[in-house]
Amino acid sequence: MTDLVINPTQSRPWGKILLRALLFALLGLFALFYLMPLFVMVTTSLKSLEEIRTGSLIAFPREITFEAWRTAWSGACTGIQCEGLRPYFWNSVVLAIPAVLISTVVGALNGYVIAQWRFRGANLIFSLLLFGCFIPFQVVLLPMARMLGLMGLAGTIPGLIFVHVIYGIGFTTLFFRNYYVTIPQELVKAAKVDGAGFFRIFWSIFLPLSLPIIVVTVIWQFTQIWNDFLFGVSFSQAGTQPVTVALNNIVNSTTGVKEYNVDMAAAIIAALPTLLVYVVAGKYFIRGLTAGSVKG
């Protein structure tokens, strides 16, 4: 990104160096600013309660202890139970993985059909799906609760998966459709003449082209679903709650002394998977967002 900086003082090297220094100082400042909260969280989670009470917020821990992490993972109380985040973390995993996969696959097929098979009414359906992206969460809560009740999925993890898939299809379709419209229609025509059918063309020609947009969609969906709180708190019950809801309960249900170190550790644990996804696939994310044309 830095090579985008246009340097007007090319002829005077000291000016150039000064500008560079200024640029890096500024960037460093921003980075520090954004890293501050994370720093506080990590250091606090590694301190004992005693040290938190006596020390400064931004000081390094005098004595590193992982006690708070252990408690957050397997001992902290969410209301009456004291099992820590672990069961809820697994709830979130069991919930997010199928929800992400299903909504991505459906979005890919939707996008493929809408962009490349141009059936009658395709544009209308696409507009409606787009509209679905802009419906606020709160609006669908009650009808969705009723739906889940009718389907016998109320309070279950499959129910939550269903909600996330439905809500995510609008976005995933949008991503794939916009990616696939840039692929020339003649590819489908050529494949048809070659004898391939609907799924064969998708599988052999479109899917291999789709890695960047799959990564974008998976990151987007995973972040949305893992971090979701409203659907989680509305459509789950004791035992099926996702990690975000459990985190909230841990932080809010502590009686007596507030265990900041446990809260911080729990928050980091809850945020870790999304962080991981970005670190692993982040560069594809940028690439996928900017990927426009496909070289013939």
Partner 1 sequence: MAPILDIKNLYKNYGPVEILKDINVAIEPGDFLVLVGPSGCGKSTLLNCIAGLEPITDGTIHIGGRDMTHVSPKDRDIAMVFQSYALYPTMSVAKNITFGMKVRGVDAATQERKLQEVAGQLQIEQLLHRRPGQLSGGQRQRVAMGRALVRDPKLFLFDEPLSNLDAKLRVEMRTEIKKLHQNLGATMVYVTHDQIEAMTLATKIVVLKGGIVQQIGSPAEIYNRPANLFVADFMGSPAMNLIPARAKPNGTGTQIEISRDGEAPLVLTDTQAPDLPEDVILGLRPEDIAEAGFRAGESVQKAECLIEMVEPAGADTFVVSHLGGKQVTARLHAETSAQSGKTLPLAFDLSKVSYFAPESGDRLN
Q: Write out the residues near partner 1 by the rule CB under 8 A.
A: 184, 186-187, 189-197, 200, 204-205, 208-209, 294-296
User: In the bound complex, what is the minimum distance in angstroms from residue 101's beta carbon to partner 1?
Assistant: 22
> In this structure, are residues 111 and 126 in contact, taking their beta carbons and an 8 Å threshold?
no
Q: Calculate ∠ Cα 278-284-289, nearest 5°.
A: 100
User: In the bound complex, what is the minimum distance in angstroms from residue 175's beta carbon to partner 1?
Assistant: 19
Distance, CA of 35 to CA of 238 (rounded, Å): 35
Neighbour-count burial of 106, counting CB atoms closer than 10 A to its CB (0-12 exposed, 13-18 middle, 19+ buried): middle
User: In the bound complex, what is the minimum distance in angstroms from residue 178's beta carbon to partner 1?
Assistant: 18
> Could you write out the DSSP letters of every residue in 235-294?
HB-TTT--HHHHHHHHHHH--SS--HHHHHHHHHHHHHHHHHHHHHHHHHHHHHHH----
Nearer residue to partner 1 within complex by CB, 138 or 293: 293
Nearer residue to partner 1 within complex by CB, 13 or 296: 296
Nearer residue to partner 1 within complex by CB, 53 or 192: 192
User: In the bound complex, what is the minimum distance in angstroms from residue 190's beta carbon to partner 1?
Assistant: 4
User: In the bound complex, what is the minimum distance in angstroms from residue 197's beta carbon to partner 1?
Assistant: 8
Distance, CA of 21 to CA of 35 (rounded, Å): 21
Nearer residue to partner 1 within complex by CB, 17 or 294: 294
